[in-house]
Structure 1
Amino acid sequence: MTVIDHGADRPVHRQLADLLRADIAAGRLKPGGMLPSQARLMQMHDLGPVAVRQALAILRAEGLIRTVKGEGSTVMVYDRQPYRVAAGADVEIRMPSPEERKQLKDAAAGETEMPEGVPVAVVKPGPRKHRVLLRGDRWRLVFGDEPQS
């Protein structure tokens, strides 16, 4: 196990984010799999709660993990359906606002809001000539003549 260097110039929360990112990239943390709890990460790496929360926030912002309050953090699973983007459409990829996270919740999955760390695509105009808001964990954009596969 790689350890956090508390004397390094690099902040400890960034070191933890690097370690977790490497575990995801190497497949040691698998898509859909749970990350260790915040308490366990604190214990494993001799860190305080702020450093652990900051590290997880970095990974959420990168779209690598999702966090559900009361459940913990999991590695993102991207099994997305194709969404054909009309020629000339304007597409913006960004993190959603709190209101959009509530709007895009999956009630059938028991979500009260879309988890943190999931980006959205805003397509203007969509096939219906109005703005379409798509969850990044559910949809894959297909442009022009690309096959939808």
Structure 2
Amino acid sequence: MLLRSFGAMTIDPSADRPVYKQLADLIRARIEAGEYRPGQRLPAESDYVAEYGISRDSVRRAIAVLRGEGLIVTELRGSRVRDAGEAVTVPIAPGAQVTARMPTEPERRQLGIAEGVPILVVTEPDGETRKLPADRTIIEASKEQQEV
């Protein structure tokens, strides 16, 4: 059995968990540990293939998982850790409704959010709606709303 490791974490091709999910776990752990910082490019697919002895398809699937989670963005020149930006607090009026959903491609471009990041749709009592990136928005209910 061939095990490839990162610290205490390994990729075990004979494990029940698919190899691409194991690699996604390793990369996620590196992001969470600060080894890969916001804006930093990830190693190339070929680097992961060589380091862990896994297929290019497994690497691509792992990258797709992390992109779907909103942790990374993939551009023409490779993938990098997404910079979530500074969070903004948005007050909502009593009676406002907040829903979450995945954005359309034009909404994603307009709001400047990565693939895999949902949006919050705030519908005010007067019917006005706002679309906000869920990864950097803090919703603050007014005092009257909190007491209900």
TM-score using structure 1 length: 0.74
For residue 70 of structure 1, what is the aligned residue in structure 2?
Answer: 77
For residue 103 of structure 1, what is the aligned residue in structure 2?
Answer: 110
Q: Could you tell me how far 1:26 is from its partner in structure 2?
A: 1.8
Q: 1:12 and 1:71, CA in 2 relative to 1: closer, same or farther beyond 3 A?
A: closer
When the two chains are superposed, the root-mean-square deviation of aligned CA atoms in Å is 2.4
Equivalent position SS for 1:3: strand
5 Å-filtered alignment, 1:1-149, equals 1=6, 2-105=9-112, 114-125=113-124, 129-145=127-143
Q: Could you tell me how far 1:63 is from its partner in structure 2?
A: 2.5
- Whether the 8 Å contact between 2:102 and 2:119 is mirrored in structure 1 is yes
Q: Could you tell me how far 1:100 is from its partner in structure 2?
A: 1.8
How far apart, CA to CA, are the structure 2 residues paired with 1:31 and 1:89?
33
**Greater share of residues in helix:** 2
Q: AA paired with 1:61?
A: G
Q: Could you tell me how far 1:115 is from its partner in structure 2?
A: 2.8
CA-to-aligned-CA distance 1:106-135 (integer Å, 9 cap, x gap): xxxxxxxx4323321111128x73221112
- Whether the 8 Å contact between 2:38 and 2:80 is mirrored in structure 1 is no
TM-score using structure 2 length: 0.75
Q: 5+ residue gaps in structure 2?
A: 1-5, 144-148
Equivalent position SS for 2:11: coil
Q: Could you tell me how far 1:10 is from its partner in structure 2?
A: 0.7
How far apart, CA to CA, are the structure 1 residues paired with 2:70 and 2:39?
13
Larger Rg: 2
